[in-house]
Chain A
């Protein structure tokens, strides 16, 4: 499976990560998929609902989840995954991420170092929850 992210959307995620720095940002990735590719066409930015530790924790509530799914159904898009930022930390899932991850979803992590967003990495939880596998990520340049 490969995750395809248009450059303009990556830019939105990077900006969001820089805006919320030093706190984590988060949101849903919506789009379409076939057997081999998940192509993101839109993100649904979410407020980080954690009351504390927002510099290394994020939370999206079930109500936010329901709303995003409802939006997806109307727009004909599938919720394919979740993105979040790691302020001053590598773009690698933490043990905390792994303990709380959902199967099937693609997880995109964007590192934000001293307020500047870096290169994202995409991950997918193994079905047996033993860890994440890296997911191929293609950044699609904006069409002219």
Chain B
């Protein structure tokens, strides 16, 4: 056995104890490489492929001769030889064009015939759709129509990110689910529906809340993302990850009767942050759960997102990049706002300051529905059951309901007085600081804000009803409707 010098290329040094050369024992090049891989196990997968063969781009030289020109692995080595591993570098884009993919079968030709006869799609376009990988973040109001139409259109791989179960309140707009699905995993139901609609589609389910830790791994490998999220932290996260991965972000959002759609993160177009550098202050923009949404509206916006996704895949037409489509369903007006790419954008500008994913909850502040989790401190809170007990003892307690009048029509705690949160500041004189007061809303978020406000203007005998009137229905009055 000879002790032979092996020169390690820069790219592999970190995996070989930072040595630029090592001495290894062996009689042939094959011996040396096996021994090297044994000594430095992390090197192994870069030098050998899964079958244990030398990778095609790893070139081994004995002195100045490539072993491919000698006796390959069996090339003998002696103590005076210097063995070098020299990379060849190869790469390139994924194959394109018809030659790269087989044709459609008879059934597929029938299924997609209304696409195939249009020159803008045709056989080539339909194959592009089949090769495409689209990730839909959120299988809710926007995700339902987007997933349905993308599946029907023959998008080859559809990824879905969600972690929720189907709730009765979802069915007013999330049309991929049925009444029998209530309580089931959204991912499972949606995947089954999609497979039923079109068995050509490969469904990838990602049962997770998208976070800064998992977003890049989940999103990597998709050609584009359809953003069907309902909250600001995830929206910024999706946008930033799209910029970092270089994939388009097909954006949509809905609230009450208003919708928006655009395409962000194309190389020359703006990203979401170019348009909205900062999230709104926590609580300013209510979520659909707080403010409501017309059930049909996500159908409009989600199908616009699906349309944009299909156009991007086909490489046809004029996308919404650089334009924000604003839909006012009440007046049924579609308007367009011109958007510009911001050269100083912290994510996609020329000098980005945000170069990895951040803590988006912190960036956006805790807001809206999540307020129910934020505790004001025990002395400012009361559970529904305790309130009921104290009322039963005839204690003098004012119950202040800060919801909107429409909500009061659904449910009301007897004897409560109504001042909607938005009117509280101007009507605060109607309240008596001397009397004990319990404030409530639907689930406790808005009433927590009301308590904070009332404290700031001098009220002290105050408590927030934890969990709101919905918790009251659970704990005290099961006959009461929840919403």
Contact = CB atoms under 8 A, between A and B. Distances in A.
Interface of A: 2, 24, 26, 53, 56-62, 65-66, 69, 78-79, 82, 84, 86-97, 100-105, 107, 111, 118-119, 121, 127-129, 131-134, 136-139, 141
Given A100-B90, A134-B244, A118 B267 contact: yes
A59 B88 contact: yes
Contacts of B221: 131
Contacts of A93: 91
Contact of B93 (A89, A101, A127, A133): A89
A133 B357 CA distance: 12
A84 B246 contact: no
B301 to A, nearest CB: 25
A89 B94 contact: yes
B87 interface: yes
Interface in B60-91: 61, 66, 86-91
A96 B10 contact: no
Q: Is the interface of B mostly helix, strand, loop or mixed?
A: loop
A104 B355 contact: no
Interface stretch (B11-19, B104-112, B427-435): B11-19
Interface of B: 10-15, 42, 45-46, 55-57, 59, 61, 66, 86-96, 216-217, 220-221, 223, 244-247, 267-268, 350-352, 355-356
Contacts of A53: 92
Contacts of A138: 351-352, 355
A41 B88 CA distance: 22
Contacts of A132: 220
Given A62-B86, A134-B216, A97 B92 contact: yes
B88 A127 contact: no
A79 B92 contact: no
Contacts of A92: 245-247
Nearest to A95: B94
A105 B90 contact: no
Contact of B92 (A62, A65, A84): A84
Given A103-B11, A103-B14, A105-B11, A24 B93 contact: yes
